[in-house]
Amino acid sequence: MECESRFKRIKRPCLCCGLPLDTGAYPVQLCGSCLFKPPPFTHIIAAFDYADPLKTLITAFKYQARLSHGKVLSSLLLKRLLEFYRFRSLPALMIPMPLHKKRLRQRGFNQAMEIARYLSPALNIPVEYKRVLRQRHTQRQQGLDLKRRQRNLRQAFSILPKGGAFPERVAIVDDVVTTTASVRSLSDLLLQNGVQEIHVWSLARTCKSTAT
């Protein structure tokens, strides 16, 4: 496993979208985009920037079933979360980003669920993985820009009616946040179902200028 010091941290991330803030004289916490048009989620908390060697490890975890990589990377995300929530209230529920059943059969596991399974006992937060579904088998998001990703995800998620109300504050767990199209789509649905505040937890955040 690569030394943690080789992973690229996100310097001065926006408190909302998680992208690095422009360097300036004023101690701002939100980027211009989030101030002008707030997204449906409240925070994105990512352990690192999505760059090598971390990118290679996440790829092996996700596509080669290197679950040991996932555990180590989840432990690093846990460290980041403990820092972020030192003086903040934690969400009351974790929701792993769901996979369509066809893709789940192909891959054999849901990488977001593996991350949530690691975080749940450490943070004493339950995981909800049965009520939130990916009802449509969408095209792979990799290589698509934000608009095409958003079109690809229209009505992709659904929530089963049984199970009672969601808590006011929940966390969506995923391996990588790129354009935010997936978390925006799922966040919109959760807001329609009574959730008031949505936090997004991920191993990595793509910080290139094209991933807005």
**Is the sign of the CA dihedral 115, 119, 121, 122 positive or negative?**
positive
Q: If DSSP codes are grouped into helix, strand and coil, which group holds residue 76? A: helix
Bridge partner list, 48: 204
Which pLDDT score, from 0 to 100, does residue 24 have? 66
Which pLDDT score, from 0 to 100, does residue 26 have? 62
CATH number, domain containing residue 81: 3.40.50
Give the tokens for residue 123: 């943070």
- The answer as to whether 211 is a domain residue is no
Which pLDDT score, from 0 to 100, does residue 208 have? 73
Which pLDDT score, from 0 to 100, does residue 3 have? 67
Question: What does the pLDDT look like over 56-115, one tens digit per residue?
Answer: 999 999 999 999 999 999 999 999 999 999 999 999 999 999 998 898 999 999 999 999
Give the tokens for residue 98: 């769901």
Q: Could you please report the per-residue DSSP string of 27-74?
A: --SS-HHHHHS--SSSEEEEEEES-TTHHHHHHHHHHS--HHHHHHHH
Which pLDDT score, from 0 to 100, does residue 151 have? 59
Bridge partner list, 171: 94, 199
Q: How many domains does the chain have?
A: 1
Helix axes 67-84, 111-123, angle to 10 degrees: 50
Contact 152, 182 (CB under 8 A): no
Which pLDDT score, from 0 to 100, does residue 141 have? 47
Which pLDDT score, from 0 to 100, does residue 20 have? 94
- The answer as to whether 212 is a domain residue is no
Flag residues of the chain having pLDDT under 70.
Answer: 1-3, 24-27, 136-154, 209-212
- The answer as to whether 100 is a domain residue is yes
Domain of 178? 4-20+29-205
- The answer as to whether 210 is a domain residue is no
Which pLDDT score, from 0 to 100, does residue 149 have? 52
